[in-house]
Amino acid sequence: MSSPAAGSADSAGNGTAIETRGLTKRFGAQTAVGNLDLKVPAGSVFGFLGPNGSGKTTTIRMLLGLITATSGEADVLGRHMPARSDAVLPRVGTLVEGPAFYPFLSGRANLARLDSADRHASPATRKARVQEALERVGLQAAASKKLKAYSLGMKQRLGLANALLQPRELMILDEPTNGLDPQGTREVRSLVQSLAAAGTTVFVSSHLLAEVEQICTHAAIMRNGSLAAQGTLEELRSAGRSRATILTPDAGAALLVLSHLGLVPDTDNNARLSEGAGPALEVAAWLPEEGAPAPEAIVAALVSAKVRVRGFSVAAESLEDRFVELTGSGFNVAQ
């Protein structure tokens, strides 16, 4: 089986696997996606984030030619979509809302049926490819069971197996860990990493920020159908604020010192009792974006004010912090 990376550098335009320019989709008077300029680097693991209704699924459906854009352009693997879908789609593996499986066929028979419908798939290697795909998603023991006996997580694995039946240059996965237990989630994480190591670009729409931070190299955040931010994970974090956290029994005095230094108290995280720290409290405050005092200067000011410092750290925002800041909402984990 040839590597999915073979030729991908030539096929992706300017080193991008996906690029959109002003991509817009309206349903009547409602704009689902507006003026989207998205760039997914070839070879990246790209997290596509956003709260429910932010336009993620609509964007994916436009990229795959399942719906037509109202305006704007989309290139996938260097070709215009949907005009060149015949050349693009055989090189793209997808898990979007799950394929249509037959409940009275086994998992193996369902994959064979889907593979036989692919005019680019060789019948001579079908049996071996189906078996390899089942093994890669951990379904070999349940391959002979009828689909109606599959759990949601098993159906999700089978959808992933279907996407893996052929070597792919690009994988588009919409909530790939939906319904999976922690072990299954770890296996999907490992699978995504192995695909990326082989040169496949992986585009993952997900609501699991912790998972995205572990597997993705780049991300984009959607808000109300518009792009709020995109870049490497490090760029997204560094564009945000930094937060100082002090462990002290003198919370009130610590907050006063921090305020005098220009720090803004983090009201969502302040005065939480720290486990195992006796009466000490965690006090958190955001550093100003410009002219922030050095960490050692903050500690020196606290000690000078006779604040008892039992722990101190400065850290950049997490991806979750950045998401909430950009979208003004928490993540809908039921998405």
What is the secondary structure of 239-260 as a DSSP string?
TS-EEEEEEES-HHHHHHHHHH
Domain that residue 95 falls in: 8-237
Q: What is the domain count for the chain?
A: 2
Q: Are 199 and 56 part of one and the same domain?
A: yes
Q: If you ran DSSP here, which 8-state letter would residue 28 be given?
A: T
Q: Are 118 and 266 part of one and the same domain?
A: no
Whether the CA torsion 229, 50, 214, 74 is positive or negative: it is negative
Q: Are 302 and 232 part of one and the same domain?
A: no
pLDDT the model gives residue 69: 96
pLDDT the model gives residue 144: 95
Considering the domain boundaries, does residue 326 fall inside one?
A: no
Q: Are 254 and 140 part of one and the same domain?
A: no
Q: Are 105 and 215 part of one and the same domain?
A: yes
Per-residue pLDDT tens over the stretch 262-300? 999 887 665 454 444 457 788 988 888 788 899 999 999
Per-residue pLDDT tens over the stretch 139-186? 999 999 999 999 888 888 899 899 999 989 999 998 888 777 888 888
Q: Are 93 and 121 part of one and the same domain?
A: yes
Can you give the CATH number for the domain in which 16 is found?
3.40.50.300
Q: Are 198 and 220 part of one and the same domain?
A: yes
List the one residue out of 15, 21, 8 whose CA is nearest residue 75.
Answer: 21
Instruction: Tell me the DSSP string of 132-162.
Output: HHHHHTT-GGGTTSBGGG--HHHHHHHHHHH
pLDDT the model gives residue 98: 64
Q: Are 180 and 219 part of one and the same domain?
A: yes
**Boundary residue ending a domain (182, 214, 237):** 237
CA distances from 160 to 3, 33, 123, 154 (A): 18, 27, 20, 10
Q: Are 85 and 146 part of one and the same domain?
A: yes
Q: What pTM was estimated for this model as a whole?
A: 0.76
Whether the CA torsion 80, 85, 88, 94 is positive or negative: it is positive
List the one residue out of 50, 54, 53, 60 whose CA is nearest residue 81.
Answer: 60
Q: Are 208 and 107 part of one and the same domain?
A: yes
Q: How confident is the chain (335 residues) per 10-residue block, as mean pLDDT? A: 41 80 95 96 93 89 95 96 94 83 95 90 93 92 94 88 92 85 84 89 86 88 91 82 90 93 80 52 85 93 95 82 70 40
Beta strands in the chain (DSSP E): 16-27, 30-36, 39-41, 45-49, 71-76, 79-81, 92-95, 170-174, 201-205, 218-223, 226-232, 242-248, 264-265, 272-273, 281-286, 311-316
pLDDT the model gives residue 203: 97
Q: Are 286 and 157 part of one and the same domain?
A: no
Considering the domain boundaries, does residue 2 fall inside one?
A: no
Q: Are 224 and 288 part of one and the same domain?
A: no
Considering the domain boundaries, does residue 327 fall inside one?
A: no
Can you give the CATH number for the domain in which 277 is found?
3.30.70.260
What is the radius of gyration, based on Cα positions, of the chain?
24
